[in-house]
Amino acid sequence: MDSIFMKIIRREIPATIEYEDDDVIAIKDINPIAPIHILIIPKKFIPTVNDAVEADALLLGKMVLVAKRIASEKGVAEDGYRLIMNVGKGGGQTVFHIHLHLVAGKNLPFETA
Ligand code: AMP
């Protein structure tokens, strides 16, 4: 299976990479909703949270810790930020390769994303 994010991971299409290791990549969102809008993406292709299995638990946890690290590097950890994972069409998911949105840098209404 493939996704636009797999193409970014394989460097077939460009992206602004904020962080990368063996398990995850983090990129700037192409259509940001706030001054800081970064997507934390597992290199393993998992379409939605509904497709995640027990063996993905560490990977999913790591995504949150990478978000925390980036928030700290960007200087927004203390002020606060929002982590969002949309699940399925009804949850607002448009790219079917799981990703965590890290959004910060403005006052966020509850309804964001
Ligand atoms: P979601 O609606 O949760 O699936 O979020 C998908 C996000 O991916 C949206 O915020 C898009 O702006 C973003 N996006 C789509 N294509 C790209 C791309 N090529 N590079 C960076 N971000 C992208």
Distance CA 38, CA 24 (A): 13
Each residue's pLDDT tens digit, 71-107: 999 999 999 999 999 999 999 999 999 999 999 997 7
Question: Would you kindly state where each structural domain of the chain is located, as residue ranges?
Answer: 4-104
Ligand 1 centroid from CA 77, angstroms = 23
Among protein residues, the one with the nearest Cα to ligand 1's atom 20 is 30
* Tokens 């699940």 found at: 87
CATH superfamily of 4-104: HIT-like (3.30.428.10)
- pTM score, whole prediction: 0.95
Each residue's pLDDT tens digit, 14-53: 999 999 999 999 999 999 999 999 999 999 999 999 999 9
Pocket test for ligand 1, best of 2, 3, 95 (most atoms within 8 A of CB): 95
Judge residue 84's burial from the number of C-beta atoms within 10 Å of its C-beta, 0-12 exposed, 13-18 middle, 19 or more buried.
middle
Number of H helices, E strands in the chain: 2, 5
Catalytic site includes residue 101: no
